[in-house]
Copies of this chain bind each other. A is one copy, B any other.
Amino acid sequence: MIAWKIGGDQGEGIDSTGDIVIHVANRLGYYVYGYKSFSSRIKGGHTHYKVRLGTHPIQAATRHTDILVALNQETIELEGSELQGGVILADSAFSPVLPPGLDAQLLALPMTQMAKELGSGLMRNMIAAGASAALMGLGIQPFYDYVAKRFGTKGAEVVKANQMALQRGYQALSESAHTLKTTWTLTPPIPADRLVMTGNDAVALGALAGGCRLMCGYPITPATDIMESLVKWFPSVGGAVVQMEDELGSITAAIGAGFAGARAMTATSGPGLSLMQEAIGLAAMTETPVVIVDTQRGGPSTGMPTKQEQSDLLAMIYGGHGEAPRIVITPSSLEESFEDGYEAFNLAEIYQTPVFIATDLSLALWQQSIERSYVQNPVPIERGKIVKTFGSNTSEPFQRYAFTADNISPRTLPGTPGGQYLATGVEHAPSGKVSEAPENRARMMDKRLHKIQSIHSRRQGFLVQGPANADLMLIGIGSTAAVNREAAQLLQQSGIAAAVGWFRTIAPFPHELFASATQGSLHILVVEQNATGQIAQLIQMQGLYDQRFATLLKYDGVPFLPEDVAQYAQQLIASSMEVTH
C-alpha cells in the first residue's frame, strides 16, 4: 500500500492531479481511495489530496503519507509530519526547505521551470504526476493512456502537451532515482474491472438505474454533485433536473412529482434539510413517495460546509413538527450507496412516504474503487400498490387512504379515470376528505406510523462483519462504518476479536436485529462523527444501551482515522479489564 499526497493552494490544480493518479492506479488494478481537504473558498488557501493505493479494498484515509508532492513550502510545514521516512517531491521554484526534525527526504525538482519550458505554467502538475509515476513504480504508459482518454475531446495537441509534461516529470525523477533513500514496489495487482467514483456518483447512478427521472435541487456543498451529474446524464434517458429557487421549492416540486407518479428526488445538506422539514411532513401526511439525499456536513447553521460530520441524524428522524413516518437509510460504502440509490425509490413507493438517504461528506465526496459488476443495470424496480384501472361500475369515490391489513393503501396516479382523490396535509378520512373525527384521526396516525415497520423484513437494518462473540464490536454509520472496518482489521492484527456493525436503516430503528446482533459482544463502541452521540441516543431510546456500550465522538471536521479508532478501542478494552479484574 502506498499513500501519496499532493498539497498546495486551492485553485492550483491539486484536484486534477490527484484525479489522474487515482484513476491511473485504479486502471492498473489497484484499489484506490482519495481524500481531499478543502475550504469554503474558490481560490487560495491550503488544500491537499491524498491517494491510497493497494491490492486490498481501501475505504478510509490514514495518517501516514509515503510520498508528498509539495507545490509550496506551506505544504511541507503542514503535511510534512505525516511522513516517516518518506519522500517530499517539491517544486524547486519555491526553494523548499526541510524543517528540522522532519523524518523525510526532500527531492526538489524544477517543476515550474520545466513547465515553462513546455510553454505553459499549467503543466507543472502534470510534471508532478509524471514524477510520482516514476517514484511509485507505476510506469508512464498508463498515464499517457489516461490523459489521452481524459483530454481526448480537447484535441490531440492538448493530449500531446500533457503527455510531454508527464514524460518530463517521469524522466527527471528517474534521473534522480539513485539519490532516493526509500523506494516503493507494490505487489502487482490482480487484473480487475473497477471504476473510480464517489458516494455521490454512486447514489446518482443508483437513482438513475432506479428509474428516477426528475431531480429538483438547489446547489449546496457537498450535495451539488448529484444534481450536476444527473443534469449531464438525464438528457440521454429523458429525465429533467430543475434548479429551483430554494430548498422549499425543491422538495415540494419533488413531492408534486411523486404525487403525479414520477420517481423524483432532491439532494441537499444540513441547511437545506432544515428548510425541507415542513414539506417532508406533507409527503408523510399525504402518503406521497419522495427521496431526499442528505449529504451531512459540519453544522449547525452554515457551520463547516466543507468538513465531515454526521450530525443530522436526529433532525432527519425527528425534525418535523408533529409525528410522521420517516424512513432513513444509511449506506456506508459505494456499493451500498448505489444500492440505496435505487432502493430508496422502491421503499418510497412501496411505503408511500419520504425516504432519506443519509450520507456524509466523506462518503459523498471521496473517490474509491468499485467493481464495475456492482454498478449493474437494470436494477429491481418495485412501484408498490398502484391501481391502474377501475371496473366500469366506478360510481364509488376512490378510497385513497383505505385502512388495510398492512396499513398501506392502494394509490392511483393522476390520469387514471375513476381514481381521482384529494391528497391533503390536513387530517383526512379514508376517502381523502378532510376529517377531524377523533376516532379516524387516531386510526390514521396509527396507519401512517405503523406501515413502515415492515421494512425490517425487507432489508437488514443492521449488518455485522466479524466474530459473533466479539471482544469488541465497533458500531458506525456511513463513512465511519468504513473506518471501523479497517480499524477492526488493525485490532484483529493485535489479537482482539473485533467485529464491526453498521446501520443500513436507522429509522425505523431495527430494534430486534440490533438487539440480537450485538448480544454476543463483550464491548461495544459506537463511533460517531458528531458531538452529542446521536446514534447512542437512538440506541438509548430503544432501551438497548447497556453497560457494555461506550461512545467515541469526533466533531472537529476531520474524519476518523482507522488507527485512532483502533487505538481508542484497545485502551477501552484494557481499562475495562483493569476495572473488572
Contact = CB atoms under 8 A, between A and B. Distances in A.
A541 B318 CA distance: 14
Interface in A304-354: 304-307, 309, 311-312, 314-315, 317-324
B543 A302 contact: no
Contacts of A324: 299-301
A307 B436 contact: yes
Contact of A278 (B274, B426, B531): B274
Contact of A445 (B441, B445, B449, B555): B555
Nearest to A442: B556
Contact of A322 (B275, B299, B438, B441): B299
Given A301-B284, A315-B321, A322-B270, A438 B556 contact: yes
Nearest to A545: B543
Given A284-B300, A557-B441, A271 B278 contact: yes
A439 B557 CA distance: 10
A562 interface: no
Nearest to A538: B541
Interface in A259-317: 269-271, 273-275, 277-278, 281-282, 284-286, 296, 298-307, 309, 311-312, 314-315, 317
A148 B84 CA distance: 91
A532 interface: yes
B321 A299 contact: yes
A304 B425 contact: no
A321 to B, nearest CB: 3
Contact of A277 (B305, B319, B531, B556): B319
A299 B281 contact: yes
A314 to B, nearest CB: 4
A494 interface: no
A229 interface: no
A424 interface: yes
A281 B304 contact: no
Interface string A19-43: 0000000000000000000011000
Contacts of A311: 321-323
A558 interface: yes
Contacts of A442: 555-556
A119 B285 CA distance: 49
25 contacts: A40-B426, A40-B436, A271-B281, A274-B278, A274-B321, A278-B301, A281-B299, A285-B300, A285-B303, A298-B441, A299-B320, A299-B321, A300-B321, A300-B322, A300-B324, A303-B426, A311-B323, A315-B321, A319-B321, A323-B555, A427-B557, A441-B557, A537-B541, A540-B540, A543-B545
Given A277-B277, A300-B322, A301-B322, 20 more contacts: A39-B436, A273-B321, A274-B321, A277-B319, A278-B301, A285-B300, A299-B324, A300-B323, A301-B324, A302-B425, A302-B426, A315-B318, A315-B319, A315-B320, A318-B319, A438-B557, A438-B558, A439-B556, A441-B555, A541-B541
The 5 A-B pairs at the shortest CB distance, nearest first, are namely A299-B322, A300-B322, A270-B321, A301-B425, A438-B556
